[in-house]
Amino acid sequence: MLELKLDRVSKHYKQKIVADRLEYTFQKGIYGLLGENGAGKTTLLRMIAGVLRPTTGEILCNQCEIRKMGGAYRMKLGYLPQEFGYYPNFTVWRYLEYLAELKAVPPEAAGERIEKHLEQVGLSSVKTDKIKTLSGGMVRRLGIAQALLNDPEILILDEPTSGLDPKERIRFRNLLGALGRERIVLLSSHIVADIEFIADEILIMKAGKFAGTGNQKEMLKAVEGKVWECLVMPENLEGLNQKFAVSSVKNLEEGSVQVRIVSEHKPMEHAKLVPPNLEDVYLGTVEK
Ligand SMILES: Nc1ncnc2c1ncn2[C@@H]1O[C@H](COP(=O)(O)OP(=O)(O)OP(=O)(O)O)[C@@H](O)[C@H]1O
Ligand SMILES: [Mg+2]
């Protein structure tokens, strides 16, 4: 059985607490880490990837501290950093070949693996092209392919869908669905829709803490009876935004706007209770 455990993991930069005594146990499955800019997602993922050391606390893989495992941990790990470095003059193929060497993939297996992962991320047709000629979304997909090279048991993807177009997102979702069955996949995003249909478990991060964790069903239940829809005039929107967590605004043809509000109490007289979605959960959690 595979288990990755955060045991009171904190990260401080001088006085600033960026990760605050985080506790969580990951097992096989897909985990979505959601949070606003600066919530601490990248910091946490870098600590789990072993490139950043926690100020206090421990990260354990099958009960063993990951730093003590050294190379054995890195062999289990695939990591796509938020800022992903590459060599612009390398061809796609050469770059993956080079990384396969670094990751100690047996040379006789490397070619076949590269071929397979290029196919999975839809880059087979550009394998002989230089990386500098690829689009942003293609580079992102190359990043996903390199993270898969050593067939990792733990796959960490920091904002993997940024820059992907809708078709690529669907491809990515299907790919992860297949990958997540036999490993721990941890991906971050600040876009709810990117995580909504991919993750088995969701972790909402706010100011270095987990503000909410659970599967979608549990999370939706927590905001049941708290999501309201009402019609307002556009000039009242500003005031509403200050008073409530407004999760969506739709302009209607008649000149009024339909707003969705997350609130314990009925926000106004004509407000109607509606079934919650994950966006409401996220907003209700981060704006609390
Ligand atoms: N090396 C550093 N020194 C000081 N502060 C840092 C350092 N690295 C990160 N921080 C701070 O830690 C906080 C969390 O940053 P982090 O990059 O983990 O957030 P994030 O959730 O990944 O945000 P984003 O969605 O923008 O990627 C931010 O306030 C950031 O300024
Ligand atoms: Mg980040």
Structure confidence by residue, pLDDT tens digits, 206-228: 999 999 999 999 999 989 999 99
The ligand placed nearest to the CA atom of residue 38 is: 1
Rounded Cα distance between 279 and 68, Å, is 39
Taking ligand 2, which is a single-atom ion, which protein residues have CB atoms under 5 Å away? 41-42, 82
Q: Is the pLDDT higher at 77 or at 176?
A: 77
Q: How far is CA 143 from CA 47, 55, 120, 187, 208, in A?
A: 19, 28, 12, 13, 26
Cβ of 45 less than 6 Å from ligand 1: no
Q: What is the CATH number of domain 4-220?
A: 3.40.50.300
- For the segment 194-198, the average pLDDT, to the nearest whole number, is 85
Under 8 Å between Cβ of 164 and 141: yes
Can you give the pLDDT at residue 173? 84
Q: What percent of the chain has pLDDT over 90?
A: 69
pTM of the predicted structure, to 2 decimals: 0.91
Can you give the pLDDT at residue 202? 96
Q: What are the residues facing 155 on neighbouring strands? A: 78, 185
Can you give the pLDDT at residue 214? 95
Rounded Cα distance between 219 and 216, Å, is 5
The ligand placed nearest to the CA atom of residue 13 is: 1
CA neighbor of 118 nearest in space, from 155, 82, 171, 183: 171
Cβ of 149 less than 6 Å from ligand 1: no
- For the segment 183-203, the average pLDDT, to the nearest whole number, is 91
Dihedral of alpha carbons 6, 282, 36, 200, sign: positive
Closest residue by Cα to atom 13, ligand 1, is 38
pLDDT tier at 288, thresholds 50, 70, 90: low
Mutate to test the pocket of ligand 1, among 11, 13, 55, 84 (most ligand atoms within 8 A of CB): 13
Express each pLDDT in 224-273 by its tens digit.
Answer: 999 999 999 989 888 988 999 898 888 887 888 999 999 999 999 999 99
Cβ of 189 less than 6 Å from ligand 1: no
Rounded Cα distance between 116 and 44, Å, is 30
* 6: pLDDT strictly greater than 90: yes
